[in-house]
Amino acid sequence: MTALPARDPASAIDHRTMPFRRLSVSFRVLWVVLMAGLIGSYLALLARPLGAVFVGRSTWPALALLLALVVAVEIYPVLPLARQSVAAPTNSVWSGMIWSVSLADAAVLAFGPRAIPLHFIGGLLNSLVEFRRPWWRPWLNATGAGLGGLTSGCAAAAVQTALGGHVGLPWALLVSVVALAVTSRVTNSLLLLGVGATRDRLTLAQLAEQLRQGPSFWGLDSMVTPMLAFVAIQAPVLLLPLLGVAFALRHTAHVLLSRTEQAATDPLTGLANRSAFTFHLDGRLRGRRSATPFSLLVVDLDGFKSVNDTYGHVVGDRVLVEIARRLSEATGPESFLARYGGDEFVVVAPGDLHAAADLRDRVAAELAVPIEVDGRPIALGASIGTAAARDHMAEMDLVSAADEDMYRRKRGGTR
Longest dimension (CA), the chain: 81
Give me the residues paired with residue 372 across strands.
Answer: 3, 377
Rounded to the nearest 10 degrees, how much is the dihedral formed by the CA atoms of 236, 237, 242, 243?
Answer: 120
- pLDDT value at residue 131: 66
Radius of gyration of the chain (CA): 25
Half-sphere CA count of 39, side-chain side, radius 13 A: 6
Predicted structure pTM score: 0.66
Rounded distance between C-alpha atoms, residue 216 and residue 211, angstroms: 9
- pLDDT value at residue 400: 94
Contact 355, 334 (CB under 8 A): no
Query: Domain extents for the chain?
Result: 20-263, 271-412
Nearest to 190 by CA among 208, 216, 170, 168: 208
Q: Looking at the domain covering 271-412, what would its CATH class be? A: alpha beta
Rounded distance between C-alpha atoms, residue 390 and residue 294, angstroms: 9
Residue pLDDT tens, the chain, 415 long: 444 444 343 333 343 567 778 778 888 899 899 999 999 988 887 777 665 555 544 467 888 889 989 998 888 777 776 655 545 444 444 455 677 888 898 888 888 777 888 999 998 888 887 665 677 888 888 898 899 888 888 888 888 888 876 677 888 888 888 888 888 888 888 888 888 777 766 667 666 666 665 555 555 667 788 888 888 888 888 888 887 887 787 777 777 777 777 788 898 998 999 999 998 898 888 765 555 789 999 999 998 888 888 888 888 898 999 999 999 989 987 899 999 999 999 999 988 899 999 999 999 999 989 888 777 788 888 999 999 998 778 889 999 999 999 999 888 766 5
Could you give the C-alpha distances from 110 to 200, 301, 358, 385, in angstroms and in order? Answer: 38, 60, 55, 58
DSSP string, 244-276: HHHHHHHHHHHHHHHHHHHHTB-TTT-SB-HHH
Element housing 378 (H / E): strand 376-378
Contact 268, 363 (CB under 8 A): no
Contact 74, 122 (CB under 8 A): yes
Contact 282, 399 (CB under 8 A): no
Rounded distance between C-alpha atoms, residue 144 and residue 142, angstroms: 5
- pLDDT value at residue 271: 92
- pLDDT value at residue 15: 38
- pLDDT value at residue 121: 92
